[in-house]
A = this chain, B = another copy of it.
């Protein structure tokens, strides 16, 4: 098939050793005499021998490949996570098979099964929702899995994320201290673990603790135009401070406000709960919970390397520090 198809066998013949020895030098096994190693290396270089990773995978049962399951590549939240993953993967010489699952044709469990069939050594799962079939698919295998930037409801799987509850509470407090009393929460899918177990309870608790009434939770507000269209509702409900999970959604609200002549932050304060490039590039720039997305990805991948090597991983539920980045969409005292 390949124009140049040098196998380990060719190298063995030329170097007058067995293929086992060639394999050993290729894999850096120390049990090879210096001069035979040199001899083999010389042949390898001369013939431009490159091991066939598929054959290696079959024989060794390790493919040095990890699977990524991600909802949407063009969502910078996931792109930035992926970058952290990718850099660490490179460091440890793993390749990445990426599977995006927003597409109707691809269900979570199919994505997982596809990766397992490819014999990936591990999987990083980034979707904010982990359906039962996906859990089942993972459980049917020994392949380690790490969740990045999300959590599962029972903490069955290792995960790397932030303390969403604490972060949201802190953000709400910032609005509250700015004198805002009619606080709202804008989320996408209301059924995700993070929303159900963290954001919504944190919001409700905060509202209750401060006697602010029921408040307003707006669900299924997922993109720029959803955010744009939400403004009239916010106006109607008299909201003066809002936390928005996705930053492009927040930008939608922001732009809608600008276009309607409504002042941000004077009349409406906006905080986004996940800051990507976009949050800092719009004007007024968005105050945000800055999640360390790159680091979350990197730490998740690092943890996965340990799991793949059966190394000890003392803590599998990791929460990384976040910070509240005050910008122009909230009042600067």
Chain A residues within 8 Å of B, Cβ to Cβ? 1-4, 48, 50-55, 57-58, 61, 63, 65, 72-74, 76, 79-80, 82-83, 86-87, 90-91, 95-100, 103, 105-106, 113-114, 116-119, 140-143, 224, 248, 251, 255, 258, 277-278, 280-283
With contact pairs A95-B118, A141-B4, A282-B283 given, residues A83 and B87 touching in the complex (Cβ less than 8 Å): no
- Asked whether, in the complex, the Cβ of B51 is within 8 Å of the Cβ of A140, the reply is no
With contact pairs A1-B61, A278-B278, A283-B283 given, residues A103 and B74 touching in the complex (Cβ less than 8 Å): no
Copies of this chain assembled into the complex: 2
Across the interface, A53 reaches (CB within 8 A) one of B51, B95, B119, namely B119
Across the interface, A87 reaches (CB within 8 A) one of B55, B98, B103, B117, namely B103
Which residue on B lies nearest to A80, using beta carbons? B74
CB distance from A144 to the nearest CB of B (A): 12
Give 6 pairs: A residue, B residue, CB < 8 Å, sorted on A: A48-B140, A52-B119, A55-B58, A73-B73, A90-B103, A258-B283
A72 to B283, CA, bound (A): 25
With contact pairs A277-B278, A281-B282 given, residues A116 and B50 touching in the complex (Cβ less than 8 Å): yes
With contact pairs A73-B82, A74-B79, A142-B3 given, residues A97 and B54 touching in the complex (Cβ less than 8 Å): no
CB distance from A209 to the nearest CB of B (A): 35
- Asked whether, in the complex, the Cβ of A3 is within 8 Å of the Cβ of B140, the reply is yes
- Residues of B contacting A283 in the complex (Cβ-Cβ under 8 angstroms): 255, 258, 282-283
CB distance from A312 to the nearest CB of B (A): 20
- Asked whether, in the complex, the Cβ of A73 is within 8 Å of the Cβ of B83, the reply is yes
- Residues of B contacting A113 in the complex (Cβ-Cβ under 8 angstroms): 50
Across the interface, A95 reaches (CB within 8 A) one of B61, B72, B83, B114, namely B114
CB distance from A221 to the nearest CB of B (A): 16
Across the interface, A83 reaches (CB within 8 A) one of B57, B74, B80, namely B74
- Residues of B contacting A255 in the complex (Cβ-Cβ under 8 angstroms): 281, 283
- Residues of B contacting A61 in the complex (Cβ-Cβ under 8 angstroms): 1
Which residue on B lies nearest to A293, using beta carbons? B74
CB distance from A172 to the nearest CB of B (A): 25
CB distance from A305 to the nearest CB of B (A): 16
CB distance from A61 to the nearest CB of B (A): 5
CB distance from A64 to the nearest CB of B (A): 9
- Asked whether, in the complex, the Cβ of A98 is within 8 Å of the Cβ of B96, the reply is yes
- Asked whether, in the complex, the Cβ of B1 is within 8 Å of the Cβ of A142, the reply is yes
A103 to B255, CA, bound (A): 35
